Amino acid sequence: MLTRRQAIAASVLSAIFAAAPSGAQEQPKDKLKVIASFSILGDLVKNVGGDRVEVATLVGPNGNAHVYAPSPADAKRVADAKLVFVNGLGFEGWLERLVKASGTKAPVIVATRGIKPRERADGHGRDHGQADPHAWQSVANAKIYVGNIRDALIAADPAGKGAYEANAAAYLAKLDALEREVREMIAKIPADRRKLITSHDAFGYFEAAYGIAFIAPQGVSTEAEASARDVAAIIAQVKKQKIAAVFLENVTDPRLVEQIARETGAKIGGTLYSDALTDGKGDATTYIDLIRHNLKQLATALMS
Ligand code: ZN
């Protein structure tokens, strides 16, 4: 039973809550407008920003950020933004010009800050010294992105500090669970089957973190074409090492990988999502779903 005083206190409180819609004091009138350069980064920003932030993504689902051509509408969106989130590590070669052309004063936040870049060395010296931008393919790295995003949002919108910290903590816990899921699944794949072919070299961080070897005829950017000699070398390698599966990607031309499959008898294991989320018709509209999808494709093809 409530005492009379408690009952009064309770009714006063409920009157206050009834008068003010829940959380109304916490919500800013206008959302913080931010830009993310590509879809995967956009999802990470949405998870940390929650409902205080409005995220516009430049390179959309299934888009290829290596070769993107920004539109005048993109310049307008960048001009209106309070923050511009980019991957960095040479991923968005077109971005600096876009930022300049837009005239924006918004800080450009490099989400990979603090990540040790992987450098590609393919034995031909082709991409020597070129950083590999695909850092998000390791979940541990995605956690570093999240920390950078949280800190930048707090700096731009200090009133949202509590919300951004809570959102980031909740999302980081999900990423921890995801990381465990990846390691448990890969542990089930026999060690001598943990190798496969993709078209461009987008999975180096995944390889380094989880111990699956990815061999790719195209370098870390899709701008460079694979040479006939590179393709011939890969075909020989697939045959010699008995690599069981080749994979397509959602952002690259499938013909090269199809040719390798044809000439080696390796099966096509499915489509991996490398540099972009899928649109609503696909099964990876979030970063977590993207990693889960890739994991399932790998495990299915390499264990059968
Ligand atoms: Zn790529």
Q: What's the CATH code of the domain at 155?
A: 3.40.50.1980
Q: Ligand 1 mean position to 66 CA, how many Å?
A: 6
Q: Ligand 1 mean position to 135 CA, how many Å?
A: 10
What's the rounded mean pLDDT across residues 52-64?
97
DSSP states along 266-288: -EEEEEE--S----TTSS-SSHH
Q: Ligand 1 mean position to 245 CA, how many Å?
A: 20
Structural domain ending residue among the three candidates 133, 162, 179: 179
What's the rounded mean pLDDT across residues 101-130?
81
The answer to whether position 85 is within a domain reads yes
Query: The pTM is what?
Result: 0.87
Give yes or no: residues 82 and 124 share one domain.
yes
Give yes or no: residues 175 and 197 share one domain.
no
Question: Which residues, including other chains, have CB under 8 Å from residue 288's CB and lie 6 or more apart?
Answer: 174, 175, 178
Q: Ligand 1 mean position to 65 CA, how many Å?
A: 7
Question: How many Cα atoms are found within 13 Å in the side-chain-facing hemisphere of 9?
Answer: 5
For residue 249, what are the β-bridge partners? Answer: 272
* % residues pLDDT > 70 (the chain): 88
Split at pLDDT 50, 70, 90, the class of 18 is: very low
Give yes or no: residues 240 and 272 share one domain.
yes
- AA identity, residue 59: V
Q: Quote the pLDDT of residue 163.
A: 98
What's the rounded mean pLDDT across residues 116-127?
64
Q: Ligand 1 mean position to 112 CA, how many Å?
A: 15
Beta strands in 96-199 (DSSP E): 108-110, 118-119, 131-132, 195-197
Give yes or no: residues 137 and 269 share one domain.
no
Structural domains of the chain, count = 2
Residue 134 phi, psi dihedral angles, 5° rounding: -80, 45
Structural domain ending residue among the three candidates 122, 155, 179: 179
For residue 223, pLDDT over 90 is answered with no
pLDDT digits (tens, 9 = 90+) for 65-78: 999 999 999 999 99
pLDDT digits (tens, 9 = 90+) for 80-102: 999 999 999 999 999 999 999 99
Neighbours of 17 (CB within 10 A): 10
* % residues pLDDT > 90 (the chain): 72
pLDDT digits (tens, 9 = 90+) for 167-195: 999 999 999 999 999 999 999 999 999 99
Number of H helices, E strands in the chain: 10, 10
**In which domain, by residue range, is 70 found?**
24-179
What's the rounded mean pLDDT across residues 200-223?
90
The answer to whether position 167 is within a domain reads yes
Each residue of 152-176: b (16+ CB within 10 Å) or e?
bbbebbeebeebbeebbeebbeebe
Neighbours of 78 (CB within 10 A): 24
- AA identity, residue 185: M
For residue 19, pLDDT over 70 is answered with no
What's the rounded mean pLDDT across residues 246-258?
90
Structural domain ending residue among the three candidates 153, 179, 205: 179
